[in-house]
A and B are shown apart, each in its own frame.
Chain A
């Protein structure tokens, strides 16, 4: 049954995957195991994306199926703590009001076992600094869509340096207009312009096999 659920998610069979996941839980299945299978499925979707077999449309649909299954699965895992592999403070940088890239990344990061603290869009540098102080994350993830976001990313990294927090975190930047030059310019540790690569790099940054 779990194998079938995994296959349905990976093959983008939305209705089938959700139906089977419900049946599994209704038949007394272990929600923790279902969660693990869903995570594996999302890992496979990400892997296929990185191989060029899947495209952004599949990442989005895969994320949607995952979210729908989690809606009725997570409440059943109450009490037992879900093990996290690391903590990410995530936000779209100042002056940029887009959330699409950030939100797609967030689903995949959570599916990979990260705890994600989403601090929103158009996020001032100071808010990143405060969030790092408060949540002590392993990773700071910054997203932007518009080119103006590139300079906001640099300013945010600079603010983290000023606050003496730069060395306590790894910084990954993401979004459509981000590349190796932007990484160098901003002083981030890694960059990705898709969620699958972003999550793989986050795992590498904290020394977990991707």
Chain B
């Protein structure tokens, strides 16, 4: 029986070998999470999003019974409000404490209108959901370009947050956030401690964003932004350029905590033709990735949807820049193009875990690993980490066993 320390060391070495494009002892496995964590603990989604103790217990129980190498989903109990993160880009201590917190408690305090939480706007067992909204008019691009942090903090936040739309309400909300920050910090520390006892390595992660996604998700709404690309192309590009610095500043606020990776979830990548991607999206995403790299932080990019049309652009980054986590892009094809350059992650459709059988999962993983395992530089994960609450636990077990069975080098 390995001690938790030995186990954590082994798991970390496995992940780092893959990121460094080497062959570890076994293919590292990033586990599933999401709604199923609460369901497995017998608590509601509402409790999971609003009760730190219950959430912690649920996370620990799930990670004890469904071991993996990287509990990427741990501690992640809600959905965030992107502009809120960047409103505090010039105040790293604030940004590091509440700017990136994705908890129902924060939702209650600020009263944001761009997320929906269980037991609040939606039924108590629903997934927390981000829906966005239009909080900025096209005439305001100039204000955003001139001083993005000021514009987001002083103009956008009052529009998004019902509890921050007058100076008095905003002051009260900020004090409440300050009081909540201690609880959030304790939650993170406690979860970390308990996971360490289970042999999980500590891999602190910060958050990055693609400038165009920040405009689409947080300011203009994605559909309006798609139209803006044709109607106000120059303004959109200037705004993207202006957002690079605050995105990096907010992300780097966590650097003193020993952060090694910046998670950057992409959204509009799949929406754009190569022409639009290369004009409005990629140059600024690349600046963010290279900006983190300069500070010794590798990027961990989630390429939502199909990224096939833009795969080759990844080769413009320096070798070993980070992790490319693919959702619906065929990882076999991605591995072929990116081998020796980029660590590839993903490969198992979440639908297979939700609706398949242990036998099907075993056969699928065997075939997948035959193809993508050789040469290393690969982390196995489901296409998205959020498993619905009815996900059969025997399927999650089957996935874990299949990686153990077929993943050894």
Contacts and interface: CB of A to CB of B under 8 A. Distances in A.
Interface stretch (B282-290, B344-352, B365-373): B344-352
A55 B307 CA distance: 11
A60 B129 contact: no
Interface string A138-159: 0000000011101100100000
B351 A181 contact: yes
Interface centre among A55, A182, A184 (most CB of B within 10 A): A55
Contact of B271 (A60, A179, A182): A60
A179 B353 CA distance: 13
Interface residues of B, number: 40
A176 B384 CA distance: 11
Contacts of A146: 127, 129, 386
Contact of A55 (B123, B131, B271, B349): B271
Contacts of B356: 181
A12 interface: yes
Interface stretch (A69-77, A93-101, A164-172): A93-101
B226 A60 contact: yes
B214 to A, nearest CB: 17
A165 B378 CA distance: 47
B196 to A, nearest CB: 29
B273 A12 contact: no
B35 interface: yes
Nearest to A181: B351
A184 B129 CA distance: 26
Given A150-B355, A150-B388, A54 B350 contact: no
14 contacts: A12-B230, A56-B226, A57-B272, A60-B227, A60-B271, A61-B226, A61-B230, A98-B129, A147-B386, A148-B127, A150-B388, A179-B351, A181-B349, A181-B352
Interface of B: 34-35, 116, 121-123, 125-127, 129, 131, 222-223, 226-227, 229-231, 270-273, 276, 304-305, 309, 328, 349-352, 354-356, 384, 386-390
